Amino acid sequence: MTTVGLIGLGAMGSGMAASLRRAGHTVQVFDVRREVAEAFTQAGGTAHDTLASLGAACDVIISVVVNAAQTEAVLFGDGPPPNGLPGCAASMKPGSVFVMCSTVDPNWSVALETRLEAMGLQYVDAPISGGAAKAASGQMTMMTAAKPEAYALAEPFLNAMAAKVYKLGDSAGAGSKVKIINQLLAGVHIAAAAEAMALGLREGVDAAALYEVITNSAGNSWMFENRMAHVLAADYTPLSAVDIFVKDLGLVLDMARASKFPLPLSSTAHQMFMQASTAGFAKEDDSAVIKIFPGIELPKSAN
């Protein structure tokens, strides 16, 4: 019986863990917020006090943290004792699989696979997309790359969490490259959606009417429909924060810079998110990028 553990019960991870449980798996979890892990296990599963304990107990570990630095900490610890917490890699059983779901530099992912293989561990490069609602319903997308042996162990869990699991290569890197390209589009689309809504507000167009027309017209995008609904509701609760796109579009530009490939739209969108971040909106929903536009009155909350 293959055992599964999941690290990080945030907006995406909590839904993914619930999807695993709904598929009949006994899910073992770790989150730095102990109370969040305990709350999840009230409906079944086991919460671990330490990453080392989780690592020793599971054949497949799925990591759903924010970035490469957090992934490093999850695996290898975040500093020496007494204040540092040990990671899970040292306690994982030989042949077990680490599934990395963060958006990271593809070259970092390639290097991580090599590092884990030297420890006798297997690796799946598996960035995710779709948002919290699709994670909760098991309908998200996974962009994966891994050796066949790693897939053999991890695939039942990947299929439980995602409607589409794309296999993009037999070694790390390809999954992360495709996710970076997805984030290029996502970031540019959010920035363009905010710019369009801001222009409408500036010109005195009713925001709700504009939203209705655009979402039923050729100019619509998934991001306009999703994110501008947050603006209409004046709800900037961070399902995905402004600083996520500061990071992700930074990764997009880093990848392109290495081969001197021009990305003018990505560069502009990145500047917009950085402007929003430094203006004080870093931790707000990424739709708050609309707040950088001058001379507009944004919709107010009905509450």
> What value does the CA radius of gyration of the chain take, rounded to a whole number of Å?
20
Q: Tell me: the pLDDT tens digits for 73-101?
A: 999 998 776 677 889 999 999 999 999 99
Strand locations in the chain (E): 4-7, 27-30, 46-47, 60-63, 97-100, 122-125, 128-129, 140-146, 162-167
Dihedral of CA atoms 81, 70, 167, 9 in degrees, nearest 10, equals 100
Tokens of 136: 């909760």
Other CB atoms within a 10 A radius of the CB of residue 177 amount to: 20
Which residue has tokens 């040990």?
Answer: 86
pTM reported for the whole predicted model: 0.92
* Topology (CATH) of 4-171: Rossmann fold (3.40.50)
Identical fold for domains 4-171 and 177-292, yes or no, is no
CATH architecture of 177-292: Orthogonal Bundle (1.10)
Q: Tell me: the pLDDT tens digits for 283-292?
A: 999 999 999 9
93 is catalytic: no
Q: Tell me: the pLDDT tens digits for 43-52?
A: 999 999 999 9
The residue from 93, 134, 167, 179 that is catalytic is: 179
Domain boundary assignment for the chain: 4-171, 177-292
**Where do the H-state alpha helices sit in 44-166?**
51-57, 68-76, 106-118, 131-137, 148-161
* Spatial separation of the C-alpha atoms in residues 56 and 91, rounded to whole Å: 5
